[in-house]
Amino acid sequence: MSQRHADISRSSQRLHCLDALRGFDMIWIVGGREIVNAWAAATGSPSLETLLEQLHHVEWNGFTAWDLVFPLFLFIAGVAMPFSLRRRVERGDTRSHLAGHVVRRGLLLVVLGVLYNLRGDSLESHRFASVLGRIGLGYMGAGLIVLRWKLGGQIAWTVGILLGYWAALSWIPVPGHGAGDLSPGHTFTDWVDQNLLPGRLHRGDRDPEGLFSSVPAVATALLGALTGTWLRNTTRTTATTLGLLLMGGLALALGGLWSTVFPINKNLWTSSFVLWTAGWSLIALAVFHQLVDVLRLTKLAFPFTVIGMNAITVYMLARWLPLDSWFTGWIPATYEGVPVVQLLGAGLVVYWLMLYGLWRKRWFLRV
């Protein structure tokens, strides 16, 4: 085997930076934001207050760092897709078997999302849309496209989804509001959810994880899959990192340009939002690729990796095992009126220790 082929073979193995980046993303969801909030309240630090402003969703049009957390996770799932599917092909799985695996995995995430939102109320008051459901549908749609179409077809699907979604929200008339009304509750996306999505909508007349806005989420996963295909055929070098940065800058430019006529909006998951978040995801991936896969700073990345390899587990734990609130009841000590357990991130520490135990036993919830 030539040196180039050997390098490509090594590059086709698991990207370690993906686990670390996924873990970094999850830390903010399961406790990181609460720690920043606690220290900002205790110290009144202007720097922390500024950071905290970035840790809240924009109400409608616009973008903050917190708006990246969700699409980054879905983008990472897309990046991992060509690697995982390739391993299964090498193991002897057929295309039909792989399609079944993708569908089962996507539907399981939808079910977990329903359970995550489960309350003791009636079905009419239950919210069926969810973050995990959006990830499941986005992953499933992208996975089936990747299995059926080669690179050119995947690009065509991505472009078609983004343009088609823009056209739908711009030109399909909504009863009572007409076409092109992008106000909250007035869009075609909201109309679909109001009429087809059972149960309660998160914002009353709309849901940021609804049915129709899951269509462009497929494009988010596809952009990740296209990135993963490229990474699977490159070596782990600084040149690859620079390539990721270049692609990230291009996606940001395209998303910013499109936002002048189709605003960046997480609630609607607009096409400009897809490109904008893909750009920042590529930049984040470039940073972690350089640190973990090029410079081999695996010990530095290890705390994130432990979380990233059991991301769904810790997400469900944080929902059903709210440790910080329990610890606050047991340990009433405060600093400047803020519970010490929140300042120390006690819940996040315990979650990590639990995941570390699972990591030691090589037990991972893979769905």
Q: Please choose, from the candidates 114, 156, 118, the residue with its C-alpha nearest in 3D space to the C-alpha of residue 136.
A: 114
Selected residue with higher pLDDT from 284 and 120: 284
What distance in Å separates the CA atoms of residue 292 and residue 17, rounded to the nearest whole number? 5
Q: Residue 201 carries which side chain, given as an amino acid letter?
A: L
The CA distance from 190 to 205, in Å, is 7
- The neighbouring-strand residues paired with 229 are none
Residue with tokens 């992008």: 182
Instruction: Please compute the mean of the pLDDT values over residues 253-275 and round it to a whole number.
Output: 98
> Which residues are CB-neighbours of 49 under 8 A, at least 6 positions away?
40
Residues comprising the chain, all counted: 367
Coil/strand/helix, residue 144: helix
Task: Note whether 213 and 70 are within 8 A (CB).
Answer: no
Q: Name the amino acid, one letter, at 331.
A: I
Q: Given a cut of 60, is residue 3 above it in pLDDT?
A: no
Whole-number average pLDDT of the chain: 91
Residue 61's DSSP bridge partners are 265
Task: State pLDDT tens for residues 76-118.
Answer: 999 999 999 988 888 888 889 999 999 999 999 999 999 998 8
* 246 close to 303: Cβ distance less than 8 angstroms: no
Task: Please tell me whether residue 122 adopts helix, strand or coil conformation.
Answer: coil
- Given this model, what pLDDT does residue 271 score? 98
User: What pLDDT does 13 receive?
Assistant: 59
Whether 190 contacts 204, CB under 8 Å? no
Per-residue pLDDT at 89: 85
pLDDT in tens, 132-185: 999 999 999 999 999 999 999 999 999 999 999 999 999 999 999 999 999 999
pLDDT digits (tens, 9 = 90+) for 192-224: 999 999 989 999 899 999 999 999 999 999 999
Question: How many angstroms separate the CA atoms of 291 and 293, rounded?
Answer: 6
DSSP track, 36-101: HHHHHHHH--HHHHHHHHTTS--SSBS--THHHHHHHHHHHHHHHHHHHHHHHHHHT--HHHHHHH
Q: Looking up tokens 């057929």, which residue turns up?
A: 94
What mean pLDDT is predicted for residues 358-367? 85
Is 25 strand, coil or helix? helix
Q: Band of the pLDDT at 130, cuts 50, 70, 90?
A: very high
pLDDT grade, residue 257 (50/70/90)? very high
Predicted confidence (pLDDT) at residue 38 exceeds the cutoff of 50: yes
Question: What's the pLDDT tens digit per position in 286-316?
Answer: 999 999 999 999 999 999 999 999 999 999 9
Residue 323, pLDDT score: 84
| Per-residue pLDDT, 1 | 35
Q: Does residue 14 have a pLDDT over 80?
A: no
**Helices first, then strands: H and E counts in the chain:** 17, 2
Of 77, 101, 78, nearest to 222 by C-alpha is 78
- For Cα atoms 50, 287, 239, give the angle at the middle one, nearest 5 degrees: 145
Q: Which residues of 166-198 are buried (b: 16+ CB within 10 A; e: fewer)?
A: bebbeeeebeebeeebbebbbbbbbbbbbeebe
pLDDT at residue 324, as a whole number: 77
Query: DSSP H helical segments within 95-150, as ranges?
Result: 95-116, 131-148
Sign, CA dihedral 283-308-63-41, equals negative
Please give the average per-residue pLDDT across 270-282, as a whole number.
98
**For position 121, what pLDDT does the model report?**
67
Who wins on pLDDT, 231 or 3? 231
How many other C-beta atoms lie within 10 A of the C-beta of residue 286? 21
